[in-house]
A and B are shown apart, each in its own frame.
Chain A
Amino acid sequence: MYVSLTESWNLMGGYTGYVSLGHVTFFAIGAYTTALFLNRFGISPFVTALLGGVFAAMVAALVGYPVLRLKGAYFTISTLLLAVVMQLIFMNWEFVGSSTGLWFKLLPVSMETNRLIFYEVMLALATLITLLVRWVEKSKLGAGLIAIREDEDVAKTIGINTPWLKVQAFILGAFFAGIVGGVYGYYMSYIHPDITFNINTSLLILLMAFFGGCHTWAGPLLGAVILSLANQLIVTFIGAEISRILYGLLLIIVIIFMPNGMIEYIKVPEILRKERVP
C-alpha cells in the first residue's frame, strides 16, 4: 500500500518538487467513494475502487488549479489544510457516516479470504503504479515536470504550460491514491475519518519518498519497502514504545548523510560511469 501511495505522491512531490501533505485526502476520498457506491448501489468492488480514483482525481482537479499557483512552503501548508479540513467535513457529514465510520459489505467469503484477495490486489496495484510512474518518468510529461522542478521560469520560456502540466501530475497522483484508498477500504472492511484522513499517513509517504530518494521511480519503492519493514521489525523485536524513536533516528541519519535518498548510494557506480563517457 505504501509503495503505491509513495509512488503516486512522487509524481508531484519528487519530479515536480511540489511537496504535498494532502495526499492522504485523495486516498481517503477513494476509500469513501468506494464504500458509498458499494453500500448504496451494490456495485462490484473492482469498479468502485476505480470510481474512487475518479472521484479523487476530480477533487484534485478542483483543488489543484488554485493551490498549485502557490510555491514551496505555501503550497505545502495549503495542502496540509486541505487534509485537515476534509477530515473535519467527513467527521461531521451524516451521509458518509460522520464519526461512526462506514462498514464495507464484504464479499461472500470468509474474512481471511477477503483479506487475502485484497492483499493480492494491492500488490498488483503497487506493481502497476510503480511501472506507470516509471513510464511517466521517461516520458514527455515526466521531462516537463522535472523541468518545472529545476526552474519553473525556464520551463515557461521553452513553451511548457506549467499550470496545466502541474495539474495533470496532481490529478494522476490523486487518481492512483484514490484507487489505493478503495482497495484499502475493502481490506480493512471498516473506514473512519480518524484513520483514513490521518495526516500521519501523508507525513509517512513524504518520509518514505525522501528516504528512498524522490528523483527516480525506484527511490519511493525502496523507501516504502525498507521503512515498512523497519517499522514492523522494530515493533516486533524491540517494542512499540521505542519504535517511533528509532524510526525517527533512522530518518534523521538518512536525511543528513544521504540528502538525495538511499537510491543515490545504490546507483553510484552508474553515475561514475556516466561521468567518464565524454
Chain B
Amino acid sequence: MLEGAGVTKKFGGLVAVSDFDFSVEQGQIVGLIGPNGSGKTTLFNVITGFYPADGGRIVFKGREITRDKPYQIAKLGIARTFQIVRPLLSLTVLDNVAIAVLYGRENMSGMAKGRMRALEILRFVGLESKKNILAHQLVAAERKRLELARALAIKPEFLLLDETFSGLSDMEIQEAIKLIYRIRDDLGITIFLIEHVMKAVMGTCEKIMVIHYGVKLAEGKPEEVSKNPSVIQAYLGKRHA
C-alpha cells in the first residue's frame, strides 16, 4: 500500500535517512523502531511531505507522492500524529476534530455537520465526555487520544503514528493498544507506527523495521528482530550482542 525505495534525507552534511526501503501492506500494523536520533521521525516527515526528500521515491496506492505537499498527502488518505502532541489549544476538543472533518477527505461544509461527525469520532476514541473542554485543559493521555481523533477525522486509509504510547502508564498503554487494533479492524486503516515502548511494539506489530543512523538494520517479525545481533548491538552496545 505504501512503499518507499531509496528514500534519502540530508540535513547539510548529516544524512538523517539513508537509502531507506520500506513497504507496508494493506491491513498491516508495521512498527519502526530505533534509538534516539536514528531518523524515525525524519522518515515520517519525508513521507508526509514536511521535508522534501533528497532522493528516492515514495508510492502510495500506486501513485507517487514524493513531491506532494502535506495537505495533498492528507487528502490522499495518509493521516499522521505528532510525537509531541499538538492540539489546537484554544479550541474545544470537539472543534479540534470538527475542523479536521471539514477539511479532510469528506470535505464537508458547515460547522454543524462537521461537529456531528466529530462527535462520532470522539465517541470512538472515548473522549466524548470531554467534548466541550478546551484542548489545553486535557491531561497527557487525553491529548494523545485527541491527536488520534484528529488524525482519524480526515477519514484516512493509512495512519502514521509517532510515539503514541510514550509517556503513558501501563494501563493506558493497554487501552491504547486496544484502540489501535480497533482502528485497524473496525475502520480498516493500515498503520505504520514509531515506538519506543518495546512491549507495545512487540505485542501489536506484525512486522518491525529497525533504523539506526538512518540506515535499515533489520526487518521482520518481532521475535526475529529482537534476536538479531546487530539490533541488540545498536541498542545495548557490542558487549551484549
Q: Which residues of A contact B100 (CB under 8 A)?
A: 158-159
Q: Which residues of B contact A143 (CB under 8 A)?
A: 95, 98-99, 102, 111, 114
Q: Flag if A162 contacts B71 (CB, 8 Å).
A: yes
Chain A interface helix/strand/loop/mixed: helix
Stretch among B5-13, B52-60, B130-138, B174-182 lining the A interface: B130-138
Q: Which residues of A contact B130 (CB under 8 A)?
A: 278
Q: Flag if B132 contacts A274 (CB, 8 Å).
A: yes
CA distance A277 to B133 in the complex (A): 8
Q: Flag if B154 contacts A159 (CB, 8 Å).
A: yes
Q: Flag if B89 contacts A150 (CB, 8 Å).
A: yes
Q: Flag if A154 contacts B131 (CB, 8 Å).
A: no
In the complex, A105 has a CB within 8 A of chain B: no
Of A151, A159, A275, which contacts B74 at CB under 8 A?
A159
Of A140, A157, A162, A275, which contacts B110 at CB under 8 A?
A140
Q: Which residues of A contact B50 (CB under 8 A)?
A: 153, 156
In the complex, B221 has a CB within 8 A of chain A: no
**Nearest CB in chain A to that of B77: its residue:** A159
CA distance A139 to B109 in the complex (A): 8
Q: Which residues of B contact A218 (CB under 8 A)?
A: none
Q: Flag if B105 contacts A159 (CB, 8 Å).
A: yes
**Nearest CB in chain A to that of B97: its residue:** A158
CA distance A157 to B153 in the complex (A): 11
Known: A143-B111, A159-B74, A159-B75. A154 touches B88 (CB 8 A): yes
CA distance A69 to B9 in the complex (A): 23
Known: A157-B74, A159-B100, A277-B132. A139 touches B86 (CB 8 A): no
CB contacts under 8 Å to A, within B104-118, are 104-105, 108-111, 114
Given contacts A157-B82, A159-B104, 7 further A-B contacts (CB under 8 A): A140-B110, A150-B90, A150-B91, A154-B150, A155-B103, A156-B71, A278-B131
Binding site for B on A (CB under 8 A): 138-140, 143-144, 146-147, 150-151, 153-162, 215, 274-275, 277-278
Binding site for A on B (CB under 8 A): 48, 50, 69-71, 74-75, 79-80, 82, 86, 88-91, 95, 98-100, 102-105, 108-111, 114, 129-133, 137, 150-151, 153-154
Instruction: Return the 5 tightest CB-CB contacts between A and B, nearest first.
Output: A150-B88, A156-B70, A158-B100, A159-B74, A159-B103
